[in-house]
Structure 1
């Protein structure tokens, strides 16, 4: 696996062996970023289920200013730290070594881009989006990118957020939410 584009483009990323994490492959990651606008002019990223850290690193590579990565698995945390080290800009990254639910009590926003790739998708995605919104840590223009198994059906509306785009890539599905006008 490697960083697809931007400042760190082409650099290799380490991933965890086994089934504990499911790293987003290069093709899906490239497609994901082309769906949300391939490059950015600053902003903060939150990756609530960081795995190897590839999504947050890709976002920083493409112009986001800083990232908070949340990961509870110790082996995955070590991989994330190695991958952050590869960027030579570790000051742009914060790793919270805990589960996503616990991290919600420690986050401070605003976040402009959020990645959700939880192990048990449907209920978790809905709860995470609602929880983040209730904490008021999401910017008004936040983009929330969810990666799930292709079989998972997420709702069109979750609280103040509307599904704006969805695409299937093999066994994965990418769903994007933005704040809606239905308040």
Structure 2
């Protein structure tokens, strides 16, 4: 798929690139205060500190020991923050080669054994065959795609169809104020806020009726 499918190439995320630099600051956990570089890729804007603080306050009861999936990783703001705060693993999917290379470098710098980077398109990852995704089930998923590509629904549908979410999984979604998507009946909205032009929500996946 086109390079633009990566968050790093064209996402509008509610965060802002630090003026005059390409640095991301981890805001909580074992690497709190650490600054990490990311490449000068068009449109790469880490989710802002205030929004991340809010999100991880929401996730505080669930993040420790969680297996996380960051589908449009970009700078790694969400996936790396999750590891810093005690997640057992964080799989970062990133299409852009420079951004993916920097993510790998930052994982090495942090000695983050639980982190893994796949340089590929997020939809390509979700559409892999079952044999290519052995035992791939996640407790926390971050969905922050390029807004103009309107990928929310296809990503949500793929996560459910491929059964990649554990019962009770947390799903975080960033979108524009006027963007729409329909979550499955099994997803319960937990928190819902706006920040500037960004709408962000946290869902929890409950047992489907068929499982009861």
On whether the aligned pair clears a TM of 0.5, the verdict is: yes
* Root-mean-square deviation (Å): 2.1
Deviation at residue 182 of structure 1 after TM alignment: 6.5
Deviation at residue 166 of structure 1 after TM alignment: 1.0
Q: What's 1:70 paired with? A: 93
Segments of 5+ residues of structure 2 without an aligned counterpart are 1-23
Query: Which structure would you say has the larger Rg?
Result: 2
Q: Does 1:109 align with 2:136?
A: yes
Superposition misfits of 4+ residues, deviation over 3 angstroms: 120-123
Deviation at residue 69 of structure 1 after TM alignment: 0.7
Report matched runs for 1:18-29 at 5 Å.
18-29=41-52
Judged with a 3 Å threshold, the aligned counterparts in structure 2 of structure 1 residues 164 and 122 are, in CA distance, closer, same or farther, namely farther
Deviation at residue 76 of structure 1 after TM alignment: 1.1
Segments of 5+ residues of structure 1 without an aligned counterpart are none
Q: What's 2:165 paired with? A: 138
Q: Which structure has the higher relative contact order (CA within 8 Å, separation 6+)?
A: 2
Match of 1:50 among 41, 61, 73: 73
CA–CA distance in 2 between the matches of 1:171 and 1:16?
A: 24
Judged with a 3 Å threshold, the aligned counterparts in structure 2 of structure 1 residues 149 and 79 are, in CA distance, closer, same or farther, namely farther
Q: What's 1:36 paired with? A: 59
Q: Aligned with 1:126: secondary structure?
A: helix
Q: What's 2:194 paired with? A: 168
TM-score norm. by structure 2 comes to: 0.77
TM-score norm. by structure 1 comes to: 0.88
CA–CA distance in 1 between the matches of 2:120 and 2:114?
A: 19
